[in-house]
Chains A and B, each alone.
Chain A
């Protein structure tokens, strides 16, 4: 196995980064594999977290861009709880040309904060900045957001005929079904329901705290009860395995199990440990008494210098007379 992996490295990789892996063989292979899986996983997660969230195809009297112009807009939502950079992805309204507008990399504004939105203006004026697309929304009835590889479709939408100044968006950010929005909500949540803070909800519904106490104590007991059950059975299994291996099992009725009073006792692990500890303690004590049989006399060498002389560096503690 090891030689196969070494051969695999020899054939496939020559870059210096992999030389360490060749050197460390299986260990290096495992580390590299984990690192690759992690990086692929992390990249994949980021790419798939973006969502087309809302758009307006016909903007006659609605929101204006920074240049005071009205045009179609597309809102992208970061559905994750980490910052995602949309730079490097592609926006398009053409299924045959997924790379129609490459979103520029390196613009700090393309980093979308957790659960936040960005707006792209479909005004065919890319010179106006990163967020201005190089196409108008025509009657293709299709929008697509593509990952940086230009092939992986992150999110796409086939939409019906649009109404002027009415946006088309998800009922809930990132996950809801598409419908015509009652209110246009660029750069903010599509769902307009005011969420009550958890604390206020508990204040209103459980002002005494009894419900929380009962719930939480039940969960704490349940969690630890499960652990108790698990380890009760694991303990039994361990004893059973030990018995199978025949490790220090004292047969029933053997002299070791019968005390003076005639009562049967289990061998006490604590007592055994205490006896061992005491024996070790005694042993060390005796060792320390017997150890120093050899008397070694070394000549003390003191290199005199005024700098290490106590006469020059210390003075007597002053005494008030």
Chain B
């Protein structure tokens, strides 16, 4: 081989190598999505906005938006690739029920059991789901797509992923990103709505402290909860079944190891996998569409409507309650199932008006009821539209 042909061969090799690099496939869309991923990482690390979710999702966005030569079994949408295999748990709806198992194993339903009327707030706040559903229909989405978008208003990431993977898989990335983003922004979105809808007198309402709940009640709760909700909405079984199962593991007192695994290593592993793969599924080519922009707008609207529904329900409910039993409407926002962020918002806003009025424990009631309510709502939508 003479020197010229050697250089020619090396040149061709270099050219071929360059065609394999991400730079040769980079588009503006990829750069935009990378910027979004970096913003997520910044928000999570700098401001600690839902870091457990935003860091895997943000990093997943970076992973998913590094362009490559198709056909090498690298991308999340390429059958047989590692990411594709991990993504299988998302598209088949495996991860969300496992997360619900962990949520059940870490949730204390005492606040709800001691004051069961707070459950109704959790139902009222689901108005956000159906408010967004109605608006989405007006924006020319099909009912199945509108339902997948509307579930963002439930403020429950796993439920949003579960339902969108079933009803509108093509929107799942946008729905999941939107749901988690707005969950992180609950402290920003909800307080203005809460203050707008309540009077100073209402914000100062002091609620009776919750009573102590017996072990027996805590054990019965997941069993009765499962039977009552799933007999009415069997399509919610994957989520509700796992939620109540996890709670029984916790409350039975005899399966401590299982409960610890469910609320510890298991939920951590699944959170990592779901966050990373959902983030990676937002490839610019499939994600950057006008539909995604509309989904983000609808997501914000759904959170506002959900907060409105919860707070207004408490105000109306108070009309029928005796003095001393009244509910502070500032816990109405906690009917969305962003646990425990929305309950924390109730506490913070409540303290702004009365330094001694702690609403956190009261708000945890509708907050966990919201988890049940959003899972029931998802089951209904799945039953009607799948």
Chain A count of residues within 8 A CB distance of the other chain: 41
B221–A268 CB distance below 8 A: no
Known: A228-B117, A234-B217; 18 extra A-B contacts, CB below 8 A, are: A198-B143, A198-B386, A208-B138, A209-B130, A210-B134, A213-B131, A217-B127, A220-B373, A220-B377, A221-B124, A223-B232, A223-B233, A224-B119, A227-B225, A231-B116, A231-B119, A239-B211, A242-B214
Interface residues of A in 193-219 (CB under 8 A from B): 198-200, 202-203, 206-210, 212-213, 215-217, 219
B216–A227 CB distance below 8 A: no
Asked whether A234 and B377 contact (CB < 8 A) given A199-B142, A223-B229, the answer is no
A307 CB → nearest B CB, Å? 34
Is A238 on the interface with B (CB-CB < 8 A)? yes
Report Cα–Cα, A199/B144, bound state, in Å.
6
Across the interface, B384 reaches (CB within 8 A) one of A202, A217, A221, A225, namely A202
Asked whether A221 and B142 contact (CB < 8 A) given A212-B130, A238-B216, the answer is no
Asked whether A269 and B210 contact (CB < 8 A) given A202-B385, A220-B377, A224-B123, the answer is yes
Asked whether A238 and B214 contact (CB < 8 A) given A208-B134, A231-B116, the answer is yes
Report Cα–Cα, A213/B153, bound state, in Å.
13
Is A128 on the interface with B (CB-CB < 8 A)? no
A-B contact pairs, 8 of them (CB 8 A): A203-B142, A207-B137, A208-B137, A216-B380, A217-B130, A226-B228, A228-B116, A234-B220
Contact partners of B345 in chain A: CB under 8 A: none
Asked whether A220 and B123 contact (CB < 8 A) given A212-B384, A227-B229, the answer is yes
Asked whether A270 and B133 contact (CB < 8 A) given A228-B120, A234-B220, the answer is no
Report Cα–Cα, A198/B385, bound state, in Å.
5
Asked whether A222 and B143 contact (CB < 8 A) given A217-B130, A228-B120, the answer is no
A231–B224 CB distance below 8 A: yes
Q: In this complex, what residue of B is CB-closest to A198?
A: B385
Report Cα–Cα, A50/B229, bound state, in Å.
32
A198–B384 CB distance below 8 A: yes
A179 CB → nearest B CB, Å? 31
Report Cα–Cα, A217/B380, bound state, in Å.
9
Report Cα–Cα, A287/B372, bound state, in Å.
43
Across the interface, B143 reaches (CB within 8 A) one of A199, A215, A221, A226, namely A199
Contact partners of A202 in chain B: CB under 8 A: 143, 384-385
Is B114 on the interface with A (CB-CB < 8 A)? yes
Contact partners of B126 in chain A: CB under 8 A: 216-217, 220
Report Cα–Cα, A226/B224, bound state, in Å.
10
A34 CB → nearest B CB, Å? 16
Report Cα–Cα, A220/B214, bound state, in Å.
27
Asked whether A226 and B232 contact (CB < 8 A) given A212-B130, A220-B380, A269-B210, the answer is yes
Asked whether A221 and B134 contact (CB < 8 A) given A227-B224, A238-B216, the answer is no
Asked whether A231 and B113 contact (CB < 8 A) given A212-B133, A212-B143, the answer is yes
Contact partners of A239 in chain B: CB under 8 A: 211
Is B209 on the interface with A (CB-CB < 8 A)? yes
Is B38 on the interface with A (CB-CB < 8 A)? no
Report Cα–Cα, A23/B123, bound state, in Å.
50
Is B381 on the interface with A (CB-CB < 8 A)? yes
Residues 95-123 of chain B, each 1 if its beta carbon lies under 8 Å from chain A, else 0: 00000000000000000111011011011
Report Cα–Cα, A130/B124, bound state, in Å.
59
Asked whether A224 and B233 contact (CB < 8 A) given A231-B113, A269-B211, the answer is no
Interface residues of A in 230-272 (CB under 8 A from B): 230-232, 234-235, 238-239, 241-242, 266, 268-272
Q: In this complex, what residue of A is CB-closest to B117?
A: A228
Chain B count of residues within 8 A CB distance of the other chain: 53
Q: What is the total of A-B residue contacts with beta carbons within 8 Å?
A: 136
Report Cα–Cα, A266/B381, bound state, in Å.
43
B210–A230 CB distance below 8 A: no
Asked whether A222 and B232 contact (CB < 8 A) given A217-B127, A234-B220, A270-B210, the answer is yes
Contact partners of B167 in chain A: CB under 8 A: 199
Report Cα–Cα, A268/B224, bound state, in Å.
27
A142 CB → nearest B CB, Å? 39
Q: In this complex, what residue of A is CB-closest to B129?
A: A216
A280 CB → nearest B CB, Å? 17
Report Cα–Cα, A89/B361, bound state, in Å.
60
B233–A227 CB distance below 8 A: no
Contact partners of B131 in chain A: CB under 8 A: 213
B385–A199 CB distance below 8 A: yes
Report Cα–Cα, A226/B214, bound state, in Å.
20
A230–B228 CB distance below 8 A: yes
Across the interface, B224 reaches (CB within 8 A) one of A219, A220, A230, namely A230
Contact partners of B373 in chain A: CB under 8 A: 220, 224
Asked whether A223 and B376 contact (CB < 8 A) given A208-B134, A216-B130, A270-B209, the answer is yes
A219–B233 CB distance below 8 A: yes
B384–A223 CB distance below 8 A: no
B93 CB → nearest A CB, Å? 15
Q: In this complex, what residue of B is CB-closest to A269?
A: B212
Q: In this complex, what residue of B is CB-closest to A229?
A: B116
Contact partners of B55 in chain A: CB under 8 A: none
Is B175 on the interface with A (CB-CB < 8 A)? no
Is B146 on the interface with A (CB-CB < 8 A)? yes
Interface residues of A in 33-67 (CB under 8 A from B): none
Q: In this complex, what residue of B is CB-closest to A231?
A: B116
A209–B134 CB distance below 8 A: yes
Report Cα–Cα, A193/B221, bound state, in Å.
45
Report Cα–Cα, A239/B116, bound state, in Å.
14
Contact partners of B211 in chain A: CB under 8 A: 235, 239, 269
B15 CB → nearest A CB, Å? 40
